[in-house]
Structure 1
Amino acid sequence: MMFKMRPIISLLTSFVAMAFTLPCEGAGDSYKIVCYYTNWSQYRPGLGKFTPENIDPKLCTHIIYAFAKVTNSEIKTIEWNDQKMFQKLRDMKLSNPELKSLIAVGGWNAGSAEFTTMVDTALNRQKFITSVIEFLQEYGFDGLDLDWEYPAQRGGKPSDRDNFARLIQELKEAFLPHQYLLTAAVPAGKTNVDAGYNVPLMGRHMDFINLMSYDLHGSWEKTTGMNSPLYPSSHDSAAQRQLNMNWAADYWAKQGIPKHKLVIGMATYGRSFTLASPSDKDVGAPAKGPGRAGQYTRERGFLSYYEICKMVESGHGIDRWDNEQKVPYYSIGRLWVGYDNVKSITVKSQWLMKEGYGGAMIWALDLDDFGKSCSSSSRPYPLLNTINDILKKGTLPPTPKPHPTPRPRPTLPPTTIKPTQTTTNTYDNEGFTCSDKADGFYADPNSCHYFYRCISRKKYHYQCPANLVYNSITHVCDWPHIVPCKTFP
């Protein structure tokens, strides 16, 4: 393959020279710890029953209530007592005023049909947006989480991708006067990402996205596999090497989501299988369907962490650690389950800090050992508490790394990207403001040779070196033939 010579002037490197002119970003920016609450967990029997009273609001920065639905292009509640539960969630802010709550719309069971109809026309999208704002105002939510699984698939159509992008833009514009948050739950699989999502646009308009980096293997497959591996196995095929947390997160970042907006999903549950032979218990062993249902979760092929840890500490069966994929698995008789424990959550939390991602998300609160039913749990919510222990010791890196960095690079004369102007929350001569924008980099609408950086609604103006122009996709200064300049110099 032939590569064109291309200058990639890293903004990260350039900002080192500006340490005394820019405020230190990250010093007050904690990692996000996003917790999903499921409104059907109230129906589980015995110690599995979960309601908002079981939530520790100090363990989450954001709680996302799952789910609402789309009906006739409007957002609607699902459960008979959702409104009562909304109020309980709202009351949690009394003990944690910093807590943000969002309503998630969609989910796996929703499919695509209602979403496809809603995004299909400007009139339907506006109808939905109006209903969402009224919903958020009535029930006291701080934002909306779009959980469409997935645009252009599962009953959708190819135009979903562009129409979903339009919806995001229109929602963000409508949310600005109210300062509502706009987020999304997104898939890990490359095929799903490519078919349904305008990733650079999402990177610009969404406050953050929650990567569903779990359900990467399960009982729909003919061999056992880890629910949420951090890395691939040396035995994985080429396609399977994409089914891990590290690959999925990196792919979203390379497609255009700034790393600080990418929140990594962690599972507080496992995916189980029925082994074809009780003598073959390895990863990749032949399986013949889902494992038996748990006593409390009551779904074949699926077990909560508190159900798994009870089995592990019983002294029966075999609990093993996969050092390649950095996750454990447990087997007893013909039951095999790949899951996460305190050790794997620790490794993953340290990894996301090292890689510069924006935080962790858990699916879901009701699946962790919230009631400390296992003697091996030193405290309630052992997995969520582990995330808190690690992430609250660190802060976000000053800026995400650019992707990609092709080689070879040409030799350029020594130069520095210089700040040319700084203003706060007001329009200047160029007509650009950060007062309505999320933190990040933005092209200068008046000149391809300049760009802006927004930090806490403050504006910083920079000039690309030499004859280079700003590339709004990769956030670097680039050759003009790579990024055709359509504005005056």
Structure 2
Amino acid sequence: MGQTCSYIFVQPGDSCGALASRCGISGAQFTQYNPGSDFCSRLMPKQPVCCSEGALPDLKPKQNADGTCASYVVQPGEYCSLVAENHYISVTDIEAYNGKTWGWNGCASLPQYANICLSPGDPPMPSAIENAVCGPQVSGTARPSDWSQIQSLNPCPLNACCNTWGQCGITPEFCTRSPSSTGAPGTTGCISNCGTKIASSPSPPAQFLKVGYFEAFNAERPCLNMRADQIPSGYTHIHFSFGGVTPDFAVDLSAHQAEFELFAKQTGFKRVLAFGGWSFSTGGDSAPIFRDGVTNANRLAFARSVAAVVQQYNLDGVDFDWEYPGSADIPGSSPQDGANYLAFLKMVRSLLPTNKTISLAAPASFWYLQGFPIADMAPVLDYIVYMTYDLHGQWDYDSRGSQDGCPSGRGDCLRSHVNLTETNYALAMLTKAGVPSTKVVVGLASYGRSFKMASPTCRRGPTCRYQGPDSAASPGRCTGSRGIIAQAEIEEIIGARQPGVYSWHDEASDSDMVQYDTDSWAAYMSEGTKVSRRALYQGLNFGGSAEWAVDLAAFLPGEGGNGVGVGDVCDADG
């Protein structure tokens, strides 16, 4: 290797004479050390020039001893030619060095704070993203030994999709791969666990279940009442909802004792006692019971209490509906809730004969389901009730990001709570998480979610809006609650054929919809829609369906309903 010269850098406005002066040499010597007839006319700021004999040194960044490239974090306002000039390389060099660099989309799209290569060598770890929860840009992530596995670092809970921004989700926004023309990893779209395809079990279940929840409290309504001995035939399992649990973890049936004892005497279906529900799981006095009951200190007492009532009444099974373990937005939740819940289920299983079923209700929401170690729970359970309803409701109002495609961005668009597309995304999430489809009974709703319309003339389409923050929709005459209305009440309204009532089936969401009382709107499932959904889920090798609730679907004979039979729904729109 030849001798290198001593050198300085050209500053703005420098001439060869000024450079010679700064070198401390004559003009003739400067020309000798820096030959070329046009050398002095082509001076550029930051260019190195020789002040002595020898060749200019190679100022290009050098590959590190561990084989990684010399890396550089792009600063705001920088572009490839500027970076190249500052580091004595060319734009072509930068393009060549970064073919495997995370997020490399080429010099035409150079993001600020990108960590790029300025020499040959293995790519650097990408810069951290402050709020990233998945992927290689989570703060503090170590370099993988195998660079081809970089996209698999920090996977999402439930094997959900991770996108290039380090966020988890289950919709195409998160799950669609969009590789760039450079072929580099991490450029755009989904980076790991991609896709929204349902992972069906290879074979169908031994029996396709038809589970129904029976609201024990329905007798408290002024109408639309059903006793346990009036439950329609055709169900394989009926869940009595709900049994109570005291603060010392004893089963308490006193709130509906007579109804429960009547239920326990029924035949023709499996009799299952359900515990929990939203009110029990989040209500003031009862909220801690599930959370405390599954801990090491109380687990055995709680499980023994449950097993004892199953044996006392010769029930066929138990169902648990804790809403929701480990959820950050529910006061008192603990990161240990999920693991404790699993340990509790295992204990209940050990205390019950094998012919008694154990099930739980699971949310069809990534946010809430991630608190469940659901893949580990599945082998312990006979089936999982998947709550694929309440996908939307009044709670969406002012909740940004709760509704795709709502122009206001405020979550105030009229949407179906049983939207089939969103249901399919949720089914893909659960099966990708490792739950066999044959263990999943998919939720059906015998009620609608109702809203007060922002404009009575905008009833169809995903951009029609509703009012908030609280629901002002007209309540059903029996259920008496704004925001929710029974299927029986909806079909009674439609069957009365009063002016200003419009009903239709929305193909896009595979939901039935109704406008009533001028400006009230609800989405629900007619009996025909429930039948078609069951057929769809059976074709995908799911374990069955679960309906909330059997006492909401239809009026019993002699109780009114304007003579409207289940499924006898007018399909009209004016």
Say yes or no: TM over 0.5: yes
Which residue number in structure 1 is paired with residue 298 of structure 2? 124
For 1:288, which of 444, 455, 467 is the aligned residue?
A: 467
Q: Which amino acid aligns with 1:140?
A: N
In structure 1, how many angstroms separate the alpha carbons of the residues matched to 2:531 and 2:234?
Answer: 16
In structure 2, how many angstroms separate the alpha carbons of the residues matched to 1:254 and 1:30?
Answer: 22
Would you say 1:344 and 2:522 are equivalent positions?
no
Which residue number in structure 2 is paired with residue 190 of structure 1? 366
Q: Which amino acid aligns with 1:163?
A: N
Which residue number in structure 2 is paired with residue 305 of structure 1? 487
**Deviation by residue 1:265-293 (Cα, 9 ceiling, x = unmatched):** 10000000001222222344221142121
CA-CA distance at 1:106 after TM superposition? 0.7
CA-CA distance at 1:78 after TM superposition? 5.0
**Deviation by residue 1:90-121 (Cα, 9 ceiling, x = unmatched):** 3221xx2xx21111111100124211111222
Which residue number in structure 2 is paired with residue 225 of structure 1? 415
Q: Which amino acid aligns with 2:362?
A: V
Q: Residue 265 of structure 2: SS of its match in structure 1? A: helix
**Deviation by residue 1:201-225 (Cα, 9 ceiling, x = unmatched):** 1111100010111011112232211
Would you say 1:267 and 2:445 are equivalent positions?
yes
Would you say 1:55 and 2:231 are equivalent positions?
yes
For 1:163, which of 340, 343, 349 is the aligned residue?
A: 340
CA-CA distance at 1:87 after TM superposition? 2.5
In structure 2, how many angstroms separate the alpha carbons of the residues matched to 1:150 and 1:309?
Answer: 32
Q: Are the aligned partners of 2:492 and 2:564 in contact in 1 as well (CA < 8 Å)?
A: no
Unaligned ranges ≥5, structure 1: 5-11, 16-24, 232-243, 384-489
Q: Are the aligned partners of 1:75 and 1:105 in contact in 2 as well (CA < 8 Å)?
A: no
Q: Which amino acid aligns with 1:300?
A: R
CA-CA distance at 1:193 after TM superposition? 0.6
**Deviation by residue 1:409-437 (Cα, 9 ceiling, x = unmatched):** xxxxxxxxxxxxxxxxxxxxxxxxxxxxx
Which residue number in structure 1 is paired with residue 434 of structure 2? 256
In structure 1, how many angstroms separate the alpha carbons of the residues matched to 2:207 and 2:474?
Answer: 40
In structure 2, how many angstroms separate the alpha carbons of the residues matched to 1:252 and 1:191?
Answer: 13
Q: Report 1:82-101 matches (<5 A).
A: 82-93=256-267, 96=268, 99-101=269-271
Would you say 1:246 and 2:424 are equivalent positions?
yes
Which residue number in structure 2 is paired with residue 359 of structure 1? 544
CA-CA distance at 1:246 after TM superposition? 1.2
Q: Which amino acid aligns with 1:302?
A: I
In structure 2, how many angstroms separate the alpha carbons of the residues matched to 1:65 and 1:30?
Answer: 21
Q: Which amino acid aligns with 1:257?
A: V
In structure 2, how many angstroms separate the alpha carbons of the residues matched to 1:288 and 1:230?
Answer: 24
Which of 1 and 2 has higher RCO (CA within 8 Å, sep 6+)?
1
Q: Residue 270 of structure 1: SS of its match in structure 2? A: strand
Q: Which amino acid aligns with 1:223?
A: C
Q: Residue 452 of structure 2: SS of its match in structure 1? A: strand
Q: Residue 120 of structure 1: SS of its match in structure 2? A: coil
CA-CA distance at 1:226 after TM superposition? 0.4
Q: Which amino acid aligns with 2:413?
A: T
Q: TM-score, normalised by structure 1?
A: 0.66
Which residue number in structure 2 is paired with residue 77 of structure 1? 252
In structure 2, how many angstroms separate the alpha carbons of the residues matched to 1:30 and 1:202?
Answer: 20
In structure 2, how many angstroms separate the alpha carbons of the residues matched to 1:303 and 1:321?
Answer: 17
Which residue number in structure 2 is paired with residue 330 of structure 1? 514
Unaligned ranges ≥5, structure 2: 1-101, 103-146, 150-198, 282-286, 398-411, 569-574
CA-CA distance at 1:77 after TM superposition? 2.5
Would you say 1:141 and 2:315 are equivalent positions?
yes
Which residue number in structure 1 is paired with residue 276 of structure 2? 106
Q: Which amino acid aligns with 1:331?
A: Q
Q: Are the aligned partners of 1:42 and 1:49 in contact in 2 as well (CA < 8 Å)?
A: yes
Q: Which amino acid aligns with 2:244?
A: K
CA-CA distance at 1:252 after TM superposition? 0.9
For 1:41, which of 208, 218, 224 is the aligned residue?
A: 218
4+ residue segments displaced more than 4 Å: 1-4, 372-378
Would you say 1:319 and 2:503 are equivalent positions?
yes
In structure 1, how many angstroms separate the alpha carbons of the residues matched to 2:392 and 2:288?
Answer: 26
CA-CA distance at 1:73 after TM superposition? 4.4
Q: Are the aligned partners of 1:86 and 1:139 in contact in 2 as well (CA < 8 Å)?
A: no
Q: TM-score, normalised by structure 2?
A: 0.56
Aligned length: 344
Q: Which amino acid aligns with 2:279?
A: N
**Deviation by residue 1:224-269 (Cα, 9 ceiling, x = unmatched):** 11021111xxxxxxxxxxxx21111221111121111100010000
In structure 1, how many angstroms separate the alpha carbons of the residues matched to 2:455 and 2:346?
Answer: 52
In structure 2, how many angstroms separate the alpha carbons of the residues matched to 1:78 and 1:356?
Answer: 36
Q: Which amino acid aligns with 1:313?
A: G
CA-CA distance at 1:178 after TM superposition? 5.6
In structure 2, how many angstroms separate the alpha carbons of the residues matched to 1:210 and 1:107?
Answer: 13
In structure 2, how many angstroms separate the alpha carbons of the residues matched to 1:117 and 1:313?
Answer: 48
